Amino acid sequence: MDLNNIQTYLRPQSLETVENWSLGWSWLAGGTWVFSQSQPDLKVLVDLEKFDWSEIEVTTEGLVIGATCIMTKLRQWNFPEHWTGVKALFRAVDELASFKVTNMATVGGNICLAIPASTFAPAMVALDASYEIWHPQAAPRFVAARDFQIGVQQTVLQPGEVLRRISIPQESLTWRISYQRVCIATAGIAISIIVAACNPQTSQVRFGLGACVPTPRVVEFSHIPTLDEIEEALNAQVPLNDFIEDYAASAAYRQHITKVLMQRSLLEF
Amino acid sequence: MQEPLTFQVNGKTYTESCSPGTSLLTLLRDLGWVGVHRVCESGDCGSCTVWVDDKPVHSCIYPVMKLEGHDVTTIEGLAVDELAPIQQAFLEKQGFQCGFCTPGMIMSAAKLQFNSLAELRKALDGNLCRCTGYEAILESILAAKEQRSESCLMQNPVGKSVPKQDGSAIVRGTANYTADWSPPGLLHIKVVRSPHPHARIRKIDTEKAKALPGVHAVFTYEDVQRKPYTTAGHADPVPDPLDHYLLDNKVRFIGDRVAAVVAESVAIAIQASQLIEVDYEILPHVIDPVKAINDCGVVIHDEPESSQIYDPQRNIAAKVTLGTHDIEQGFAEADLIVENTYYLPAVQHVHLEPHISTSWLEADGTLVVRSSTQVPFHTQRVLSQLFDLPKDKVRVFKTQIGGGFGNKQEILTEDLCVLATLHTKKPVQWEFTREEEFTATNSRHAMQVRVRTGVKADGTLVAQEMEAIANTGAYGNHAPTVVFLTGCYPLGLYRCPHQRFLGLSVYTNTMPAGAFRGYGATQGTFAVESQMDEIAEKLGIDPIELRQKNIIQPHDIIRLGREGAHDHFHLIGSYGVPECFAKVTQAFNYVPGTKPTVNKHLRRGVGFAVSMQGSGLAKIHSAGVKLSLKSDGKYELRTGAIDVGTGADTSLRQIAAHVLGVTVADIELIAGDTHNTPFDAGSYASATTYISGKAVNKAAVAMRSQILEFAAKVLATQPENITLTPDKAIAAQQEITLQELVSRNQQSFVVEVEHAANESSLTFAVQGAEVEVDTETGRINVLRCVQAIDVGTAINPRICHGQATGGIVMGLGYALSEELLINDSGRILNPALRTYRLPTAKDTPQMEIILVEQPDPYGPFGAKGIGEIGTNCTAAAIANAVAHATGVRLTQIPMTPERVWQALNA
């Protein structure tokens, strides 16, 4: 929609030229979220497009995704066949919205938006990703995906900071993936997302929980857990109070459905 | 302003300066590419889809500042010389109704990749359609590769699937909706809306807003005459409470109108509206209708000027009682009494085209209103009353309409546009945002419906009692008539000697409820049809058998709702109910007593429901038609009828063409214009085919006689010896062209007819649904729906089919996912298409529609109404199927996964 209160739209050529970051400024990647609702507090949009941070790099150490990589590009990339872990990323694209949104939306945009229902956040924690953060006037720093989000639409990013790239270790990329997502209808904002990753060698299992909790959570097992072990671990590590309670679903239902999805994930391993 | 952008649209190069927060959608529409449609503005519905460098995107969320150097293709750029294959496919398979989603649907479909029907359904997630139920759209996309062509020039078109005659314009993106044209010098309205559910306005300071450059006027209650009226579009005298004011010193729900700003752009109007300071005296509020009638200390309509309110002190807008009073005698005879209360949500119409109107003054002083309305004539009357203008100085007309479903049987935008035009003397437009549609128009009435049924051991109904408490919101538009139908149809459907209905429409401090396809019958049908299955289960009788045993028979008289001598009434004309039951049960290979299928946590079951709905309103719904034979030998049909997107215009032309022996192309249609067509009550109550169609039929028959009689005179023979062909009147030895006849006739060949039905013939529908319930998650997957409609004659089977599939899918949303959720203040929590979940193509089940055709003695060519009935029985059939599958009865819709899970674990 038209954002009538936007006064300035900056298209800097390089990060260093971005100065005097102030209240009411926002980075803009694809724009698919920023333009999807009114933004009464924003005055200045800073478009990241010209930085060209859209690389996809496949190396022996793993996968690097530039923050402004368009989702469709990621979805259509040819990855090594033994990288079963990219299924988590593919599903994160497929489940986000229509292909017309993912033609514009960026991977980093979804992560930095940090809404609970992010389709990428639980995938990134399940894949044990880490994020490189830049600032126009400071040195880069690194944050683990699981530490990045600190609340609903709150991240560790300080004013003026920006996500530069995402790194996923090679080891996680060989893990097998189950991606389960539940909404009130068949599409829309999820009430629970479970991305399960299983190490085919060790049977180690890492669950990324999203949408059911304000920030993505990790529940890990050294082996493929039994149904009871899932229930026990979930109750211990993510108590009922941690689940979101809102008009879309109660915390009790979110807890229940999360358990069901975790248990169903095992059927794929 | 920023530096100008250079880009291309459909091969044309532009250099434009834009405000930095502009969306591509707005830029394209401002440049005149109005085939790109504004609907959700959040990237959820797909109606604004265009290609940027050949990649489809939602233009509403594309920042225009990214456009530099890019190349945009809109629907208008798709067809070069002839239609693109995908457009041709949509035209052939009629993959549209109102057409508002179509340009975006086509621009998406052209770039879709899929290997199966399931993948296609999934790929359409980002394209919403509210009319078709997606079936015709899926067929169109699947057909895009195989090319065939169908002739549109059908003789004797009644009963044939003549393509909608606006199809070519729809698929090209050139259909002319209200927003697509406006006079130069247009001003725009933005309304300040109440943030409080109930408050008195102590003071409004508009000085800062008025001082903003570009602002032409600001209106508050102090600037308008205090005249009570209803926003409902009804014939005079209106049955609704007169309780609404142009602008008032009191607000009654979050979203109520406080002040109106008129400015040179929408952006300026918004900015000015934020400068208006309002001092509110907050009043206690009530959002629960049961509390509202029980001495809660809140009186929502305490103003002395309002009238036709049943009991303002108790917030009862309307009370309807029907039936006999010796109900307890009936219950005394019963072997079994079943009682339950059912809870129905407020849901929204989500017609994709928003409410919009544009008003201006002609040089001769005539006030013109171009509006997306189902009721131009009622609107004209209300405007003339509100502004003390003679009716002939107010012209209201509609152009192409992008859906209404009842929400445009309402005067919501026209009044303030006219106020602004009369004051500024300039053209003024008011277009609602999607959020306004969700928060400041109308919903279907939320209701709680208590039903108590007494039945003999053999299944014979002896007593039915129903009490409906409807939340009519802050204003009483449609309050009495909606609850009337809640009792009248669902109870009237059964021959039961003792029936009693009490319906209350209750004011609360929530968004008003109004007219919505099914109009109260939808709510009542869910209650009664759920209870019929509960009774069947308790008695061990098959639910189909129980219904057949008690359902009204061809010669029964429907007494319910006919107590007064002057009440308009319903009767049974044609009656295809047994065939409907037979066809639906056959389609499922239904064997009574079959157990549900159980596969681990998945349980499958089937359920059924039946419904009836009238065809228009008897006696009070009138339609005028003027039919002329023009000098070129073609016919001109003028009708006040409104095609809201269903295809009614095509059906009306079919009726005229059939009688006159021509094709629909020979019937030029002019519709829905108070200055250029005769009166028609408008498009509501499943009336258009049955009442306006009958008027067309009568006019065409009279025209035919007139031509034959005059030709007989000219050819010196008897009328019965003459054959009328598309261009000639032919006698045994000689013939004369119609053009020649026109030129020889001293008078014109003109017929004017006004028709009001004496009786409303009842349409019946039977629906079956098969569901699979995941007992671990509570998710219901509807696998299959079969609906048989006792339609009389299908004037256009494909259009009837589209009404049924669209109705089923609307019912599916009602059953499973749609609900306007409110907080303690009545604030709507999900006013967007991302959070208010309409069914998508992926959600639609396999659908089978059976049109049972037994001509009705009253309707044109035996046709009955079909616009609403398809919606009514879907939710009940699904609830009954869920009960069959799981043994658990849900009495509240939507049956969300959480509610099902809770019920299973109760």
CATH no. for residue B134?
A: 3.10.20.30
Domains contained in chain B, number: 3
Q: State whether B838 and B859 are in the same domain.
A: yes
CA distance A161 to chain B (A): 22
pLDDT in tens, B93-116: 999 999 999 999 999 999 998 999
> Burial, B821: exposed, middle or buried (Cβ in 10 Å; 0-12, 13-18, 19+)?
middle
Percent of all residues in chain B with a pLDDT value above 70, rounded to a whole number? 98
| Last residue within a domain, chosen from B118, B153, B171 | B171
Q: State whether B751 and B762 are in the same domain.
A: no
Tokens of B593: 């007593």
Q: State whether B741 and B817 are in the same domain.
A: no
Cα A234 to Cα A232: distance, rounded to the nearest angstrom: 5
B150 touches chain A (CB under 8 A): no
Q: Which residues of B touch A249 (CB under 8 A)?
A: 898
**Contacts of residue B264, Cβ cutoff 8 Å, sequence gap at least 6:** B187, B188, B214, B215, B216
Q: What is the pLDDT along chain A (269 residues), one digit of tens a residue?
A: 999 999 999 999 999 999 999 999 999 999 999 999 999 999 999 999 999 999 999 999 999 999 999 999 999 999 999 999 999 999 999 999 999 999 999 999 999 999 999 999 999 999 999 999 999 999 999 999 999 999 999 999 999 999 999 999 999 999 999 999 999 888 889 999 999 999 999 999 999 999 999 999 999 999 999 999 999 999 999 999 999 999 999 999 999 999 999 999 999 98
Tokens of B859: 């309707």
| pLDDT of B492 strictly over 80 | yes
Specify if B585 maps to a domain: yes
Whether residues B62 and A182 touch (CB distance < 8 A) is answered with no
ipTM over 0.95 threshold: yes
Mean pLDDT of B792-819: 97
Residues 742-761 of B with CB under 8 A from A: none
| Last residue within a domain, chosen from B171, B189, B216 | B171
Specify if B408 maps to a domain: no
Q: State whether B744 and B774 are in the same domain.
A: no
Residue type, A248: A
Q: Which of A36, A100, A249 sits opposite B46 (nearest CB)?
A: A100
Q: State whether B744 and B844 are in the same domain.
A: no
β-pairing, B498-507 with B461-473?
parallel
**Contacts of residue B805, Cβ cutoff 8 Å, sequence gap at least 6:** B132, B133, B134, B135, B136, B847, B849, B870
Specify if B204 maps to a domain: no
Q: State whether B762 and B736 are in the same domain.
A: no
As a whole number, the mean pLDDT across chain B is 96
Q: In CATH, what number is assigned to the domain containing residue B656?
A: 3.30.365.10
Cα B374 to Cα B616: distance, rounded to the nearest angstrom: 14
Q: Which residues of B touch A33 (CB under 8 A)?
A: 61
Whether residues A247 and B55 touch (CB distance < 8 A) is answered with no
Whether residues A260 and B777 touch (CB distance < 8 A) is answered with yes
pLDDT for B152 equals 56
Q: State whether B132 and B34 are in the same domain.
A: yes
Cα B310 to Cα B303: distance, rounded to the nearest angstrom: 14
Domain ranges, residue B11? 1-171
pLDDT for B566 equals 53
Q: State whether B703 and B780 are in the same domain.
A: no
B439 touches chain A (CB under 8 A): no
Q: Which residue of A5, A7, A35, A250 to mutate against B (max B Cβ within 10 Å)? A: A35
Specify if B534 maps to a domain: no
Res. B699 pLDDT band, cuts 50 70 90? very high
| Last residue within a domain, chosen from B738, B756, B774 | B756
Specify if B131 maps to a domain: yes
Specify if B104 maps to a domain: yes
Residue ranges of chain A whose CB lies within 8 Å of a chain B CB: 1-9, 11, 28, 31-37, 45, 47, 49, 72, 97-101, 103-104, 182-189, 247-250, 253, 256-257, 260
Q: State whether B17 and B153 are in the same domain.
A: yes
Contact B838, B127 (CB under 8 A): no
Specify if B110 maps to a domain: yes
Q: State whether B659 and B777 are in the same domain.
A: no
pLDDT in tens, B722-746: 999 999 999 988 999 999 999 999 9
Q: With CA atoms as reference, report the closest residue to A92 among A68, A79, A108, A81.
A: A108
pLDDT for B146 equals 66
Q: State whether B779 and B849 are in the same domain.
A: yes
Going from the C-alpha of B468 to that of each of A162, B450, B636, the distances in angstroms are: 56, 6, 47
Q: State whether B887 and B861 are in the same domain.
A: yes
Specify if B309 maps to a domain: no
Residue type, B807: G
